């Protein structure tokens, strides 16, 4: 295996991992606040179609990312209204949100099927971004660096900031947080909105980084992988980074297997395509049988806040 091929694989892995990492970081903050939002896939699809349409009409990638985040927030607030204000079941509402996002993106994207857009280019100058060696560090778009910065930012927010301490307190014991004057519903609304923004940006990665044309369900279940990855990482941002890159590696191996040549081509491409989802199932099963599997899970995760109780 040549150095050029190794670098190409690394670059591909980073690109494939970025939408999963961004979506999972948003879901981690949401779950730390005690809310379980299974609608990540739906919010990603809403963000994806929004970003595609904006960049197709305007050619402005950064405006597309901003509006994809706004679309994710708007979609997440539907979930927030139903679960936080009306105390609807979070699991059922999250599933309904995914169905809504899938249908909405399919409807909105009817007129854009197979129409091309330009990909978001590297953040750094072309001389560095296309260098045979240095591109492994500087050959990525702004979204990749945004994801890496957000890993550190989320870690600092949860561990070092007063606001992060309040959010974790709401997720661990909502009634105690309420009794000392914190707005449990307000904090959770903010967390849900942040998760929606991150899911929208993650969805924007698909037309702007990976596939420069619209296709129904182009996220291909990555939102579900992001939800499982939060559990896999035990609600820790840096473990989330490692897990996202692990899933990205498996997806990249599928691409190289389909391209043919080498030992990877001996394994059917269908098996490579199924591996990320099989790995998700295996990881969740292994975690569920661990005795300490739930020690890092927020105590109020998925439970509605009823201050009268």
Answer yes or no: is 41 within a domain.
Answer: yes
Answer yes or no: is 50 within a domain.
Answer: yes
Question: What pLDDT is attached to residue 175?
Answer: 92
Mean pLDDT by runs of 10 across the 309 residues of the chain is 78 92 97 94 96 95 97 96 94 95 94 88 85 84 96 96 95 92 95 97 94 89 90 90 88 70 64 74 64 68 79
Answer yes or no: is 101 within a domain.
Answer: yes
Closest C-alpha among 162, 159, 68, 157 to residue 120: 68
pLDDT digits 0-9 by tens, 50-67: 999 999 999 999 999 999
In contact, 200 and 70? CB cutoff 8 Å: yes
Range of the domain at 45: 17-221
Closest C-alpha among 300, 271, 21, 275 to residue 145: 21
Answer yes or no: is 178 within a domain.
Answer: yes
Task: Print the SS3 string covering the chain.
Answer: CCHHHHHHHHHHHHHHHHHHHHHHHHHHHHHHCCCCCCCHHHHHHHHHHHHHHHHHHHCCHHHHHHHHHHHHHHHHHHHHHHHHHCCCCHHHHHHHHHHHHHHHHHHHCHHHECCECCCCCCCCCHHHHCCCCCHHHHCCCHHHHHHHHHHHHHHHHHHHCHHHHHHHHHHHCHHHHHHCCCCHHHHHHHHHHHHHHHHHHHHHHHHHHHCCEECCCCCCCHHHHHHHHHHHCCCCHHHHHHHHHHHHHHHHHHHHHHHCCCHHHHCCHHHHHHHHHHHHHHHHHHHHHCCCCCCCCCCCCCCCCCCCC
In contact, 165 and 36? CB cutoff 8 Å: no
Into how many domains does the chain fold? 1
Question: What pLDDT is attached to residue 289?
Answer: 61
Answer yes or no: is 229 within a domain.
Answer: no
Q: Residue 82's CB: how many other CB atoms inside 10 A?
A: 18
Answer yes or no: is 94 within a domain.
Answer: yes
pLDDT digits 0-9 by tens, 158-176: 999 999 999 999 999 999 9
């Amino acid at each position: 295996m040549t150095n050029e091929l190794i670098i190409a694989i690394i670059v591909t892995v980073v690109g494939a991992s970025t939408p999963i990492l961004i979506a999972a970081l948003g879901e981690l903050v949401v779950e730390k606040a005690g809310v379980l939002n299974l609608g990540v896939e739906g919010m990603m699809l809403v963000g994806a179609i929004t970003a595609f349409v904006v960049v197709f009409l305007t050619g402005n990638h950064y405006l597309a990312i901003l509006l994809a985040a706004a679309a994710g927030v708007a979609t997440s607030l539907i979930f927030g209204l139903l679960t936080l204000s009306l105390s609807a079941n979070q699991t059922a509402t999250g599933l309904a949100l995914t169905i809504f996002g899938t249908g909405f993106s399919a409807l909105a994207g009817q007129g854009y099927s197979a129409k091309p857009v330009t990909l978001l280019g590297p953040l750094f100058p072309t001389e560095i971004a296309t260098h045979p060696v240095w591109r492994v560090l500087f050959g990525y778009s702004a979204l990749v660096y945004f994801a890496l910065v957000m890993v550190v930012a989320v870690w600092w927010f949860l561990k070092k900031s007063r606001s992060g301490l309040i959010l974790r307190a709401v997720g661990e014991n909502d009634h105690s947080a309420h009794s000392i004057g914190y707005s449990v519903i307000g904090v959770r609304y903010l967390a849900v909105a942040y998760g929606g923004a991150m899911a929208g940006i993650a969805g924007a990665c698909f037309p702007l980084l990976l596939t420069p044309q619209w296709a129904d369900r182009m996220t291909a279940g990555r939102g579900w992988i992001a939800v499982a990855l939060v559990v896999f990482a035990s609600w820790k941002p840096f473990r989330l980074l490692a897990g996202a890159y692990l899933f990205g590696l498996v997806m990249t191996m599928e691409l190289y297997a389909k391209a043919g040549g080498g030992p990877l081509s001996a394994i059917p491409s269908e098996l490579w395509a199924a591996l990320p989802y099989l790995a998700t199932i295996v990881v969740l099963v292994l975690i569920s049988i661990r005795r300490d599997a739930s020690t890092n899970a927020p105590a109020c995760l998925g439970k509605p806040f009823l201050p009268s109780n």
